Structure 1
Amino acid sequence: MRPTRSLFAFAAATLASLALAVQPVAAQQILRDAETEALLHDMAEPLIEASELEPGNVEIVLINDPSINAFVAGGQAVYIHAGLLNAAENVGEVQGVIAHELGHITAGHVTRFEERTRQAQGITILSLLLGVGAALAGAGDAAMGALLAGQQAAMGSFLSFNRNQEAATDLAGARYLSGAGISGRGMLTFFNRLRDLEIRRGYSRLDDGGYLRTHPLPGDRIQTLRLLLEEDPAWGNPDDAALQARFVAVQAKLYGYLAEPRRTLQQYPTSDTSTPARYARAYAYHKDAQVEAALAEADALLAGDPDNPYFLELKGQILLESGRPEEALASLRKASEITRNHPLIAGMFGHALIATEDEANHAEAENVLRAAVARDRLNPFAWYQLGVVYAARGDIPRARLASAEQQVMTRRYPEALRSAQAAEAGLPVGSPDWIRAQDVALEARAALERIRDSR
């Protein structure tokens, strides 16, 4: 019986490796920042227009992952790892990646990817049945051979299809760069970097028989694209200097936020007084509980650009998270006003108003937070803060609804269903909030049914 059990385990691992590629992105992996999202939007906008997709329907989502990667996974969303932004040398490289991923969306590759995954799983399941039959008959070697052959067929079919997709999508990305008037130099330099990584890791053209690669060889991609891009009229266009300056600042900001403070201070020493360096150090000092040092960097940034909402947000965040919410209000209020209540900044401002523990601030907090969730319903933190305000004034049904909104976004479906039902029971029948409570309950119930059916 041991061979059979190991075969089941081996097959389960194979099936899981195929299924993981089409799983939804976990909410806790998404990294949200108002400035970074604005930059990614502005970088992608001309490419989206060139691809003839509707700009309002395409999302660029940042994932908190240090690896160099980007992907699409259902709908019209491009997911970019923080590691890719850290590795990129200029804004053109990131735009080249975005253009490539938009090609996957326009070609409908996610749907076709899922179809091929199901086909590959079907081949593997058949080999599993044959292998188990052989194992039960006592032919352990034949069983393993059947399973390995099935796995090889499945992976060969699956990865060959995926390589063809990637090659076609490179060409689509080149068209979108051209249509947007953006030079393809960045796309080529980025692929050159991937090729260098491949060489350093010791891969060769013969590894795994040559076909166990999910992408075409970077060298082949570079050669094909170089011929196309160098002849394009946009090849000689200069990089967007304003976008590049914003990119370098965001790159430093994310480094300071994500890296260990010691590493950040090595990368951006105090001798460097540039804006990106101060930005990175401010977050490093804040993470290291060096409040005054963090505030000094934030104040230096604001001295050079007093109306920059993201510098104001930074100062407000340092003060708020250091237990000084009253002092944070002025900076966060101004940042919210400049950005017209950007949901993430307004959410922090609402939090600061509540954190003062002054009930006189609750009315303003409610207005700010309601404006935040009206613009971005997928903001669990803002919903939580809004629920705190409702509960403080005794409006329990709306506090329950706010909890339901937060819970359904964080996949706590049983709690979301109970909260939504309790909210519905206490809200005026036919009111917008009553209808919304029904919608959230339906969403939670449907999610629970999907989970039950998948078991």
Structure 2
Amino acid sequence: MRPILAFLSSLVLLLASTVPAAAQSILRDAETEALFQDMLDPLVEAAGMDAGSVKVYLVNDNSINAFVATGQRMYIHTGLIAESDNALQVQGVMAHELGHIVGGHSLRIYEGASNAMRISLLTTLAGIAAALAGGGEAAMAAMALGQQAAMSNFLSFSRTQESSADAASVRFLDGAGISGRGSLEFFGKLQNYEFMRGISQNQNQEYGRTHPLSGNRIAALRGDFEQSAAWERPGDASIEERFQRVKAKLYGYQATPERTLAAFPTYMTSIPARYARAYAYHHDAQMDLATAEADALIAAEPDNPYFLELKGQILLESGHPEASLAPLRRAVELTNSDPLIAPTLGHALVATENPAYLEEAERVLRAAVGKDRQNPFAWYQLGVVYGMRGDFPRAQLASAEQQVLSGNFRGAFANAGAAESALPAGSPDWIRAQDIGREARVAIEREEDRD
């Protein structure tokens, strides 16, 4: 049975790439998500869909990867942003991933897996029949050949989908008036990594891969991209500037302070450099230097909400919640209560421990979860506010919301039940508590079945 188990394990690893990113670490940042959406929406419209209908998220993973999941969601790894030189390269990846969404590949991957499993099971049954007839060696040979055929079938199915997504990316980029140069440049990077890892570029070796060889993809796409009217068109200057800021911001957030300061020394006074250093100094608990960099950013663009958010975050996390309120309030005002910025203001208001701020904190946090219910941090802060105001049933309901989003289904079930028993029967909050309780109970039963 070991060859069968090995095949099934390989198939599970292949399917793992389609697991929704809720199981991974998502980095939520208002500036980054706004940029990604502005990069993606022209491609979405070129695909005949409504702007905003596909959402894109950042996954905290240093591998160079991107994937899609059901529900028209796209996930970009931090490693891909770090290795991309410009926004055009990322838009090339987005166009490819959009091809998977339009083609329904996040669902059809299971069709490919199903076909592979069916071939494997049928040939295994044939092998068992041969063994029962006394042909042990013939049985093992039949099973091995069947597993090889099954894996080959699945990999071929995957490569076909990748080629289909590549072809679709040409149409989407051309329709959006975006050059395909970035796409080819990114495939060139992948090809270089393949060379460094000693991966053969021989076309005969492609059968063992889920993706076509990068060199083959470049050759297949170059002619189509070069025929596009957008081929020589430069990338959007505003998008490119925003991309370099976000890339530097991400570097400063993820790297050690020493690495960040080596990459962005103090003589560099560009906005990306200051952005990265602000995070480095903040990580290193050098609040004065961090706020100085944030102030320099604000001096350059006084109404940039993300610079104001940064200063407020530095002050709040350095133990100065009262001082953080002014920049955070202004950031919330400028973004019309962005659901990823407003919770930080709510947190700061709570952190002052001033009861006079509780009403404002509740208003800010309720607005945040009203726009984005998938934010466990905002729900947690709202639960704290309810608790401080003595509204314990709603505090438990907010806690249940936070816990179900964080995967703590037993805690969510308990809090939802306590909230339901204390809230007015038939009220919207009472109904929501019931819904969370049912969702949590189903998740608990699934966990128990797996165990």
Q: Same fold (TM over 0.5)?
A: yes
- Deviation digits for residues 107-136 of structure 1, max 9, x if unmatched? 111111111112223334456667788899
Gaps of 5+ in 1: none
Instruction: Give the whole-Å Cα distance in 2 for the aligned partners of 1:8 and 1:99.
Output: 37
| 1:320 match | 316
1:100 counterpart residue number:
96
Give, in whole Å, the separation in 1 of the partners of 2:202 and 2:411: 53
Change in 2 beyond 3 A, CA 1:136/1:370: farther
Question: What is the distance in 1 between the residues matched to 2:375 and 2:80?
Answer: 25
Following TM superposition, by how much is the alpha carbon of 1:12 offset from its aligned partner in structure 2, in angstroms? 5.1
- The residue that corresponds to 1:37 in the other structure is 33
Alpha-carbon distance between aligned partners in 1 of 2:15 and 2:230, rounded to the nearest angstrom: 40
SS at match of 2:303: coil
- 1:300 corresponds, among 274, 292, 296, to 296
CA distance in 1, matches of 2:224, 2:203: 28
Determine whether 1:202 maps to 2:191: no
- TM-score computed with the length of structure 1 as normaliser: 0.93
**Residues 125-140 of structure 1 correspond to what in structure 2 (within 5 A)?**
125=121
Q: 1:358 to 1:160 in 2, by over 3 A?
A: same
Tell me whether 1:190 sits opposite 2:190 in the alignment.
no
Aligned pair in 2 of structure 1 residues 56, 242: CA closer, same or farther (>3 Å)?
Answer: closer
Is 1:332 the counterpart of 2:357? The answer is no
The amino acid that maps onto 1:82 is T
Q: Is the 8 A contact 1:133 1:143 kept in 2?
A: yes
Residues 304 and 436 (structure 1), Cα distance of their counterparts in 2 relative to 1, 3 Å cut: same
Q: What residue number does 1:444 align with? A: 440
SS of aligned partner of 1:343 = coil
CA-based RMSD: 2.2
Q: Deviations over 1:313-361 (max 9, x none)?
A: 1111111111111111111111111111111110010000001111111
Deviation at 1:17, TM superposition (A): 2.1
Residue 367 of structure 2 is aligned with which of 371, 374, 380? 371
Distance (whole Å) between structure 1 residues aligned to residue 132 and residue 11 of structure 2: 21
SS of equivalent to 2:212: coil
Q: Aligned partners of 2:186 and 2:267: how far apart in 1?
A: 30
Identity of aligned residues (%): 58
Unaligned runs of 5+ in 2: none
Supply the distance in 1 between the matched residues of 2:126 and 2:316 (Cα, whole angstroms): 62
Which residue number in structure 2 is paired with residue 119 of structure 1? 115
Look up the match of 1:16. Answer: 12
Distance 2:383 2:79 in 1: 35
What is the deviation of 1:449? 3.8
Q: Which amino acid aligns with 1:111?
A: L
> What amino acid sits opposite 2:18 in the alignment?
V
Q: Which of these residues, 33, 47, 51, is aligned with residue 43 of structure 2? A: 47
In structure 1, the residue matched to 2:212 is: 216
State the SS of the aligned residue for 1:234.
Answer: coil
1:291 aligns with 2:303: no
Deviations 1:401-435 (A, max 9, x none): 10110111111112212211211111112222122
Secondary structure in structure 2 of the residue aligned to 1:235: coil
Verify: 1:80 aligned to 2:44, yes or no.
no
Q: C-alpha separation between the residues in 2 aligned to 1:131 and 1:297?
A: 69
1:68 aligns with 2:103: no
| Maintained 8 Å contact 2:37/2:52 | no
Using a 3 Å threshold, how does the CA distance of structure 1 residues 214 and 19 change in structure 2: closer, same or farther? closer
- Matched letter for residue 376 of structure 2: P
- In structure 2, the residue matched to 1:270 is 266
CA offsets, 1:358-415, max 9 Å, x none? 1111111000000000000000000000000111111111001101101111111122
Kept after mapping to 2: 8 A contact 1:131/1:146: yes
In structure 2, relative to structure 1, the CA distance for the partners of 1:305 and 1:146 (3 Å cut) is same
Q: Work out the number of aligned pairs and report it.
A: 451
Distance 1:252 1:135 in 2: 62
* Residue number in structure 2 paired with 1:415: 411
Q: Distance in 2 between matches of 1:148 and 1:265?
A: 55
Aligned match of 1:155: 151
Pick from 345, 351, 364: which aligns with 2:347?
Answer: 351
Alignment check: 8 A CA contact 1:384 1:403 kept:
yes
Q: In the alignment, which of 406, 410, 435 is matched to residue 431 of structure 2? A: 435
Q: Summarize the Cα distance change of 1:362–1:133 in structure 2 as closer, same or farther, 3 Å threshold.
A: farther
